[in-house]
Amino acid sequence: MTGTVLFAVSVAIYAGLPMLMAIRHSSFQLLMLYCHTAAVLTMGGILGAVYILPVGGEVTLLAGQVSYGGFMFATLVTAVVGRDVQVVRNIIVLVLSVNAVVFLMFQTTHVALANQNVPSPLGVDPAVFDKSLAVVLLGGTLIILELLTLLAVLEVAKRRLAGRWLPLVTLISFVAILTLDGVLFPALVLRPSSGLGDLIASSVLSKLVLAAAFAVPLALFLGLYPRLVQRFEDTPIELTRLVPGRRTGVEQQLKEREAELAARTAEAGRATATVDRILDAATNTMLVATDSDFRITHFSVGAQTLLGYSGSDVLGRSISDFGQSEQLVHHAEQLGVPGRPPDVVAALAREGARRDWAVLTKSGETKVLSLSFTEIRDDHLLIGYLFAGEDMTDRLRAEEALSQALRREHDAVDRLEDADRVKDEVVSTISHELRTPLASIRGYSEVLVEGDLGELNVRQTEALGKVLRNAGRLSSLVDDLLHLDRSSTRGPGDARVATDLVGIVRDAHDGLIQLARRRDLELGLDVPSYPVLVLGDPADLERVVLNLGDNAVKFTPDGGSVTVSVDRHGDQAVIRVTDTGIGIAGAEQHKVLERFYRSSQAYHHAIPGTGLGLAVVNDIVSEHRGTLTVSSTPGSGTTVTVLLPIFESELLDPA
């Protein structure tokens, strides 16, 4: 192995070990750094000039010089990590102790090798260990002074320069101190009798190479440990207190430090209490804080209310104890991350969205919480997590109940539509099937009444009259049913012609006279002398007047009156049927237009009917783009008004 390679390996070992020890803070971190420093210092004292490393050209380095560079690097790292005057005191004591041990070891070895009765199998020259006390003490003192000078320069830089300059000042100061040692060590410690200038020049050149070699790991340390460097910059090392004063002074300093620590502890306690009060104020929201290992550090009042646990039940426990593993797997699959809690929570925090999460309560009940996840960081260092959630269980249950109700309602509507379709089919079939036998019954009854098959007595004639009247009513019912069936399939423009409502109303009035010929009713007719034209189906319009008139006759007791009128008002034709009958209760007036609905008055007076008359009229009027209104007072009568649009192309001036 060449001298250059051995030099590089030595630098890597001397600098690499303290850099590794500075990675993670622990109880033994400073102790390990002290041990490394002592070992490097001891090795430098023992090796000294035992071997020489040629590193290129005429530049050579003694083994002791390389150890000296490692010592300065290690002490600088230790000061940055410890950043306290006591650490500097410990290093000074360490240097003095190691130098004393080395001196005693050299003196003992020198005496032993000088004794002829003590064999030396390696043939080591006793002069190698002939180190005077002055050389050891001066060398140790010089190292201590150089270390203190380096730290003093850095303390001045902390106070007077911006933080970004500290790494550069550290590098320059380190190189300068090692170069200064190249001048002072030969002049103050070695003090040769001749050739001092050449020795200093050679020593300075060697120390420059040594400083350049250790400047590389020092730059790496300053770049890789910015938080340590920042804390070192923020914490002054009071070198003026390096030498302890009287006991009373030390006690005073301890008291001051205790008071400062107590004040900081109280302030931290107040801040923690304030944060706890803020978190507990949200009594309807679950707020749970954990450390980086998901151990619970705060459990809010809202979380206690929702989950049933007290703070003492859960503090220090893992948050995973309250979740369900399948939930973790489910969310991990959705997010496309591994199913470990840190990965899932980190992905949810980056997503920033709330997620529904099933959580077990103390009673064993499963509640669904809408959770958000937040990482808690200090200078980009993850120190914990905050889970914020609201109970969604009742809302989800209500939504599920509503969804089920909607499904049931949809099923019920489907069943009603099926029933309505079946009903329409049954009505249509029955209506068509009844027309033929009804026509036969009416035809044969009329033949018998007319006497074509022989003379009938009075009772037979009356019986056939009842048959004809009931057959007529049944035929009218069949016609109504057929109309309702046709109205659901017929287009609005079928069989529409210009129709004079005056003629329609006159013909319908004649029919009402026949219907009421055995009743004590006054039938009135009020029509204008001019035509009132509408575009419509004459048969359907006549059915409107007949159904309205039939209802008026049925529901008007003897001695009353029924009046049918038609007129034109502006662009509308008006058909009005007014009676003095039993009337309709106000609460029922909006229902009489429904199919098969019969008023309570009809049931009370046992008036026969099917409840289809007004429903048929309303359908016909709607098909003709008209409106129908019912106005009634119980015991005083009813007025039904039909409004139809005038046939615009045939408007006539009533004058």
- Residue 564: per-residue pLDDT: 94
- Dihedrals phi, psi of 643, to nearest 5 degrees: -115, 125
Choice among 129-133, 170-174, 214-218, 411-415 with the minimum mean pLDDT = 129-133
Residue 171 and residue 101 share a domain:
yes
Task: Indicate the pairing of strand 561-569 with strand 522-526.
Answer: parallel
513 and 622, same structural domain?
A: yes
Q: Do 21 and 81 fall within a single domain?
A: yes
What one-letter code names the amino acid at 100? A
- Which residue among 391, 421, 452 closes a domain? 391
Residue where one domain finishes, among candidates 365, 391, 417: 391
Scanning 308-392, the segments in alpha helix (DSSP H) are 311-314, 325-335, 341-351
- Cα gap 61→64, rounded to integer Å: 8
327 belongs to a structural domain: yes
645 and 504 co-located in one domain: yes
- Look at residue 584 and give its three-state secondary structure: coil
Query: What single-letter amino acid sits at 367?
Result: K
181: its two tokens: 């040692």
CB atoms within 10 A of CB 482: 17
Give the range of the structural domain holding residue 421, as residue numbers without chain letter.
398-468
How many other CB atoms are found less than 10 A from the CB of residue 288?
22
Residues 592, 635, single domain; the answer is yes
What is residue 524's predicted lDDT score, i.e. its pLDDT? Answer: 92
Please name the amino acid found at residue 400. Answer: E
Kind plus residue range of the DSSP H or E element containing 67: helix 63-82
What ranges in 516-612 are assigned the alpha helix state H? 538-554, 600-604
Phi, psi (rounded to 5 degrees) for 645: -70, 135
Please give the structure tokens belonging to residue 548.
């309205």
Of 433, 468, 503, the one marking the end of a domain is 468
pLDDT at residue 473 is higher than 80: no
**Do 108 and 54 belong to one domain?**
yes
Min mean pLDDT across 286-300, 558-572, 613-627 is at 286-300
Q: What percent of the chain has pLDDT above 70?
A: 76
pLDDT of residue 485: 58
Q: Alpha-carbon distance 63 to 40, whole Å?
A: 11
Answer yes or no: pTM beyond 0.85.
Answer: no
Total tally of structural domains belonging to the chain: 4
pLDDT tens-place string over residues 294-322: 788 887 877 777 777 887 777 888 776 66
Q: Are 644 and 518 in contact (CB under 8 A)?
A: no
Domain shared by 295 and 404, yes or no:
no
Stated as kind and residue range, the H or E segment containing 632 is: strand 627-633
Most confident stretch, 159-173, 279-293, 342-356, 536-550: 536-550
Q: Are residues 381 and 402 in the same domain?
A: no
Let me know if 516 is exposed, middle or buried by CB neighbors in 10 A (0-12, 13-18, 19+). Answer: buried
370 within 8 A of 354, measured Cβ to Cβ: yes
Is a pLDDT exceeding 70 seen at residue 252?
no
Q: Please tell me the distance from the alpha carbon of residue 341 to that of residue 362, in angstroms, as a whole number.
A: 22
Transcribe 116-185 into DSSP letters. TTS--TT---GGGG---HHHHHHHHHHHHHHHHHHHHHHHHHHHHS-GGGHHHHHHHHHHHHHHHHHHHI
Name the more confident of 489 and 554.
554
CA angle 432, 433, 436 (to 5 degrees): 95
- φ/ψ of 500, rounded to 5, equals -90, 115
**Which segment, 41-55, 161-175, 428-442, 499-513, is predicted with the most confidence on average?**
499-513
> Are 564 and 506 in a shared domain?
yes
Q: What is the CA radius of gyration of the chain?
A: 57
- Extract the tokens encoding 556: 């008007």
More confident residue, 123 or 43: 43
**Which comes out higher in pLDDT, residue 608 or 305?**
305
User: Whose structure tokens read 């489910």?
Assistant: 330
Determine contact, residues 370/355, Cβ cutoff 8 Å.
Answer: yes
Judge whether 296 and 319 are in contact, CB under 8 Å. yes
pLDDT at position 89 over 90: no
Q: 583: number of CA atoms within 13 Å, CB side?
A: 11
Of 203-217, 360-374, 523-537, 608-622, which one has max mean pLDDT?
523-537
pLDDT band at residue 354 under the 50/70/90 scheme: confident
Give the pLDDT band of residue 95 (cuts 50, 70, 90). Answer: confident
Residue 349, pLDDT score: 75
3-state helix, strand, coil in the chain (%, to 5): 60, 15, 25
Q: What is the mean pLDDT of residues 395-421?
A: 79
What average pLDDT does the segment 444-453 reach?
A: 72
